Amino acid sequence: MPAEPPVGRPPAPKVYPPLEGGKRILGAIALSTAVFMNVLDTSIANVSIPTISGNLGVSTSQGTWVITSFAVANAITVPLTGWLTQRFGQVRLFLLSTLLFVLASWLCGFSPTFGALVAFRVLQGAVAGPMIPLSQTLMLGSFPKEKSGMALAIWAMTTLVAPVAGPLLGGWISDNYTWPWIFYINVPVGLIAAWISWSIYKDRESVTHKLPIDKIGLALLVVWVGSLQIMLDKGKELGWFGSSTIVVLAILVVIAFVFFIIWELTDNHPVVDLRLFKVRNFTVGAATLAVAYGVFFGTVVLLPLWLQTYMGYTATYAGVVTAPVGILAIILTPVVGKLLTRFDPRAIVTVSFLIFATVSWMRAGFNTETDVGTLMIPTIIQGAAMAGFFVPLTSITLSQIEPWRIPAAAGLSNFARLLAGGFGTSIITTLWDNRATLHHARLTEIAKPGQPAFDHTMGVLKHDGFSQGQSLGILNNIINVQAFTMSAVDLFFGSAIIFLLLTGMVWFSKNRKQSQGGGAAEAAAGAH
């Protein structure tokens, strides 16, 4: 009886030459457009939750299930990309995912009830999972090895800019049209992207082979990832471990996760190839990317939240302040792609993290009197850091991966990044509240009768006609603004320290620099 082949390994892959001229450009545009649509949809609904909740007759807290349902389904299917690709083929799977995403978007817009909207968001999140890692794989296969850094750069631009553009576009659509249009805009965009992708990639299908379905591994994945995502999304709202719901979810996460690890490492055909973590560069690259993205995404959430809640900015103006981050990201990402052919990617990542640390340190100097110009300067600079960390880290992560494992590796690293984004958001918003409570308590210690500042403020308010109770309420609001601002400053300073520490973490990877494109070239070779 023949020996069992390596876990999940398909027959010898087909080798396709890179695309040329107009086909390569159109292919890159189609893949980038599909990715932009996908990533945009993860954040575009955020600012529309109050409108959606009001129109469908539910509370705002219930309305957040529009976000949670998508995130849970998406997080579950992303790590399944490798297994699904071997079974159905990367081109067919990408196109099917894109078309189903379009259908789900259309259904979301037509949802007559809130329950229907949540159900369709689950479908949308589930089919969105394979799109990002497969677009990455197809993009690498479209370019020659010496230009693989540029392929990753083009792919990364859409992935980085979309989360910033989402809230701005979502707010504008909700203010000027009706909320269903945040979903309807996906229909023409997705159909065009799918049609162009099919016309270019239909004859470049990967080899497929039948694999047994790892039912136990899949069930465990659904349980622990679903429970973890719900816990992260609802933890702050429910009071974290003061809530029995969160405690039960945490227990489910731990038990299911432990059994999932054991099962997947011992099964001959695991649904998620955890053996990838035996590869040093994959582990270091994926971990560094996940932590950096978690901190980055947490601050992306914190800044507009602070501006809207305590600085008096509308959603649109908060978006205007944060949107310039895409300027340098778009301009410099292709430059970074070219630099990968000549420089150690670890050095590029180090420079990027130093810029991130500088940006966070600049924001640590914000106060309630900070003007728009001062707010936007670090935001613009941050675009350079975004350009310099995503592409090189992706290159490092895929640099030692065999060709047939590229889709699985891309799926697993993107899964880690998405989970880290959820952790970053939950941790930073919880710490923001906790630190604000601490600062509020300290400020109220000196805001009492007999203190010059307190007596002066109360005297001014009384002179303006406010009663004692009204004056105390106004003073408490002033203290709240200061407390939450001081808390945000603390978190920006902490982010700077984390990015400084990450500059050392990336150097635990091996230098896989090649004559053509470094690690990205190896990844590209695997995609051809």
Q: How much of the chain, in percent, has pLDDT values that exceed 90?
A: 22
Per-residue burial over 409-438, b = 16 or more CB atoms within 10 Å of its CB, e = otherwise: bbbbbbbbbbbbbbbbbbbbbebbeebbee
pLDDT at 162 over 80: no
Position 152 confidence tier, pLDDT thresholds 50, 70, 90: confident
**What does each C-alpha distance from 525 to 145, 461, 515 come to in angstroms?**
6, 71, 13
C-alpha 190, offset from chain centre: 20
Residues 523, 395 contacting (CB under 8 angstroms) = yes
Give the type of residue at 261: I
The two tokens of residue 329 are 């990201």
pLDDT at position 11 is 58
Cα dihedral across residues 388, 392, 394, 397: positive or negative? negative
pLDDT at 527 over 60: no
Backbone angles phi, psi at 25, to 5 degrees: -65, -50
pTM: 0.80
Q: Degrees (nearest 5) of the Cα angle 133, 135, 139?
A: 120
Of the candidates 150, 155, 125, the residue with the CA atom closest to the CA atom of residue 138: 155
Position 61 confidence tier, pLDDT thresholds 50, 70, 90: low
**Mean pLDDT of the residues in the chain:** 82
Residues 140, 24 contacting (CB under 8 angstroms) = no
Residues 199, 31 contacting (CB under 8 angstroms) = no
The two tokens of residue 389 are 């960390």
Can you give the three-state secondary structure of 402-417, one letter per residue?
CHHHHHHHHHHHHHHH
pLDDT tens digits, residue range 374-417? 999 998 999 888 888 888 888 888 888 887 777 788 888 888 88
Helix pair angle (131-142, 518-527), 10° resolution: 100
pLDDT tens digits, residue range 122-141? 899 889 988 888 888 888 78
Position 5 confidence tier, pLDDT thresholds 50, 70, 90: very low
Mean pLDDT of 52-60: 76
pLDDT tens digits, residue range 402-460? 877 777 888 888 888 888 887 887 888 888 888 999 998 888 877 667 667 776 677 77
Tokens 């400084």 locate to 500
pLDDT at position 167 is 67
pLDDT at 52 over 50: yes
The two tokens of residue 137 are 């794989």
Mean pLDDT of 281-289: 92
> What count of Cα atoms within 13 Å lies in the side-chain half-sphere of residue 177?
13
The two tokens of residue 29 are 């545009």
Position 284 confidence tier, pLDDT thresholds 50, 70, 90: very high
Residues 522, 514 contacting (CB under 8 angstroms) = yes
